[in-house]
Each structure stands twice: as C-alpha cells, then as structure tokens.
Structure 1
Amino acid sequence: MNVIAYQAAATNPAGVIALLIGGLLIAGALVWAVRLGIKVRSREPGPPRRHEQPTLPESGPVHETREMREPNEVPRAADESERLTPHDLRSSGSRRSENQKRRRWNRGSSGSFGGGGPGKT
C-alpha cells in the first residue's frame, strides 16, 4: 500500500473502528485461552506429596557392575543351502568372559592407531 492508502485508513472512522474491534477480538480470544488453560490445569492431579515419593530399597542404592565381556560367535549354517533366521541367533551379542582381569595399558604402546607413540617394541 502507498502513503495515500494509509492516510485514508487513518482518517476513515470505519477503518479505525474495524481495527479496534479486531484488536478486542484477539484480546478476548487470548483471555479465553488462558482461562481454559487454568480450568484444565485445575482438573489435573497435583504433584505427589512427600510420602508418595519413591524411596530407596532396603538394601540401599543400586550400583553399576563392571564385567569383562567377549563376543558371541555367529552360528554357521549346516550347509550353504540352509538359511539362518533370527530365532537361530542368540539374544545378546556378547557374554560374560571367563577372565575378569582388566586389560591395562602397557608402557611404550601408543594405545591407539595414530596415537603418536612409537607403538609396541
């Protein structure tokens, strides 16, 4: 719109009244939405009380366990024409290792490929 149209809208009382009515409708819709939200929120249950909160078991807090794992071998089909299906496979990709001793870093090894050290000598 150009300047003349803005001036015409400002001087026209019908345009000003339409803007006021539109603003009042938007304000009324916002007030209605807030009241509806308050009404819905009042029907919801409140937060749990202190005695309803979860408690620790009698044995105390549960701690994580560490164990060494080793991969399960994928079973092979008896012959090439047989196909393995999902129920032929085990449920987990690893199992508990017999040796639970943790592998440690050795002095002189880089620790990873491209780690910058001389590697195993």
Structure 2
Amino acid sequence: METLRIEALTVHQQLATGNGVSGALLVLVGILVVAVLIAAFAWGRRLKAREPGPPGPEEQPRLPADGPVGYAVEDREPDELAPRGQRLTPHEVKGNGIESRRRR
C-alpha cells in the first residue's frame, strides 16, 4: 500500500510540474511574439526614415507658358451598320461603332 501511495504522489507531482512547465512555456512564447512585433515595428520605422520626403511646392510640375500641349478636338459620328438578321459580335464592330475624325 505504501508503494502505491508513493507512486500516486509522484504522478500528481509530475502532473503539477507539467502544468508549471507549460505555463512557463506559454509565457516565453508570449514574450517572443512581443519581441518579434517590436523588432518589426522598429525595422519598419527605419525603412520609412530612409524614404525621400514628399515633393515641395517648387518641385511640382508646371504648365508651359503657352498652355497645355497636345490638346485635340474630335467629332465623333456613329458608324452606319447594314441591317442584318442577327446581331454583331464585339469583334465584328470596328472601333466600337464610333468613327473619329480630327477637327483642324
């Protein structure tokens, strides 16, 4: 009977020790996760500090003195299609059905 009681105590002691170890393991994993997050945050701030700042007002693009370049006016007229018994598929319609002519 004494042997059983000693074994039972050791089993309980082992179980109690196992819970303590698993709790300590969880704490260590938590600390490791926090350390990784802090390191990632610091690395991101270092990368952000290396980037150039936003352009100043003097670095913004300006319009030429004579106005915008390449401005074009177009007249668009519908393309007449011959009547058919069935509808056209997209690849059969040229230029999306609209003809463009440049005005001069």
TM-score, scaled relative to structure 2: 0.51
Asked which structure has the greater CA Rg, the reply is 2
Larger relative helix fraction: 2
* Counterpart residue number, 2:100: 95
1:18 counterpart = 2:25: yes
Structure 2: state its 5+ residue gaps: 1-14, 80-93
1:57 counterpart = 2:61: no
Find 2:75's aligned residue among 65, 68, 81: 68
Aligned Cα root-mean-square deviation (Å):
3.5
Moved over 4 A (4+): none
| Contact 2:74-2:100 at 8 Å conserved across structures | no
Supply the distance in 1 between the matched residues of 2:29 and 2:36 (Cα, whole angstroms): 11
Structure 1: state its 5+ residue gaps: 1-7, 73-91, 99-121
Question: How far is the alpha carbon of 1:97 from its aligned partner?
Answer: 7.0
Task: For 2:20, give the aligned amino acid.
Answer: P
Question: How far is the alpha carbon of 1:67 from its aligned partner?
Answer: 3.0
* Counterpart residue number, 1:43: 50
Question: How far is the alpha carbon of 1:32 from its aligned partner?
Answer: 0.6
Question: How far is the alpha carbon of 1:35 from its aligned partner?
Answer: 0.6
| Contact 1:67-1:96 at 8 Å conserved across structures | yes
Supply the distance in 2 between the matched residues of 1:24 and 1:61 (Cα, whole angstroms): 60
The alignment covers a number of residue pairs equal to 71
| Contact 1:69-1:96 at 8 Å conserved across structures | yes
Secondary structure of residue in 1 paired with 2:23: helix
State the identity as a percent. Answer: 40
